[in-house]
Amino acid sequence: MGTMWGGYTVDLNLIGSGALGKVYKAYDSKGRQLAIKETSNREAARREARIMQSYRIGEFLPRYYDYFEIGEKGYLVTEYIRGSTLGNDFHNTFTNKRDQDLSVEITINILKGLRQLHKTGYIHNDVLPKNVMILHNKPETVKVIDFNIAKEIVSPAVMNKELQAVCKICAFLMNGTLADIHKAEIRDRDLRRVLLNPFDVNNKDRYPSTDALIAALRPFC
């Protein structure tokens, strides 16, 4: 038996945690399986709820359902996502290497999720293996999660930072870990040029958007 929070039945066994909250499995009155993030930082929780409300539904983003507060804590209700994260941080995660086609397919779907977020005027600002979930290594199950430090898009430099992080994800997937993308094993020279594009400060042709990077990646999967 679980406890009740805001009309939801909550299983108090943790299914996730981070610096700003703990995540639990929950059920609504119809028995639908959900996830509830509990945080003592109500301001951050309200902000994350507003961002998720603004995109509401995205194929590669978690669906938003509700937000409520009890006492000094905020509670964000979203869809329950099956699967596991790609890893933790880039440099202290060691996971199975994916082949190029799969790595690029996963990366493109991450970009599609971020594209939906960017339409709201925000970048994710924390694109790391721990903030991307996937089930059975299937690209169509990708979900980009956790928007608690999302940042407004105020300049091309902000967007470029996001695209750098996504390119690092792709290199991470092919290498199983990543200390420095410039030293990563990327056998296809053309793909290497694509992934290093956002890191070239002297390049006036850096990709301006998720759509541009998606188009550049498509030939490699």
Per the rule left: phi > 0, alpha: psi between -120 and 50, beta: everything else, 201 is: alpha
Give the integer Cα–Cα distance in Å for 181 and 188: 14
Quick one: three-class SS letters along 50-88? HHHHHHCCECCECCEEEEEEECCEEEEEEECCCCEECCC
Domain that holds residue 38: 3-79
Give the integer Cα–Cα distance in Å for 84 and 135: 6
Domain stops at, among 50, 79, 108: 79
Asked if 13 and 120 sit in the same domain, the reply is no
Asked if 94 and 65 sit in the same domain, the reply is no
Which token pair is 20?
A: 């700003």
Q: Is the pLDDT of residue 60 over 70?
A: yes
Mean pLDDT within 163-172: 98
Asked if 98 and 205 sit in the same domain, the reply is yes
Whether 18 and 48 have beta carbons less than 8 Å apart is answered as no
pLDDT tier for residue 189 given thresholds of 50, 70 and 90: very high
- 209 Cβ contact list (under 8 Å, min separation 6): 115, 118, 159
For the chain, what is the mean pLDDT?
95
pLDDT at position 168? 98
pLDDT tier for residue 56 given thresholds of 50, 70 and 90: confident
- 220 Cβ contact list (under 8 Å, min separation 6): 100, 101, 104, 188, 190, 191, 194
Asked if 130 and 200 sit in the same domain, the reply is yes
Domain count of the fold of the chain: 2
Domain stops at, among 79, 111, 126: 79
pLDDT at position 12? 87
Tell me, what DSSP letter sits at residue 138?
-
pLDDT at position 1? 52
Mean pLDDT within 122-138: 97
Give the integer Cα–Cα distance in Å for 38 and 36: 6
Give the integer Cα–Cα distance in Å for 134 and 143: 7
Which token pair is 96?
A: 């199975």
Asked if 129 and 92 sit in the same domain, the reply is yes
pLDDT at position 35? 96
Mean pLDDT within 179-186: 97
Whether 64 and 70 have beta carbons less than 8 Å apart is answered as no
Beta bridge partners of 66: 77
Mean pLDDT within 6-11: 94
Mean pLDDT within 80-107: 94
Q: Is the pLDDT of residue 73 over 90?
A: yes
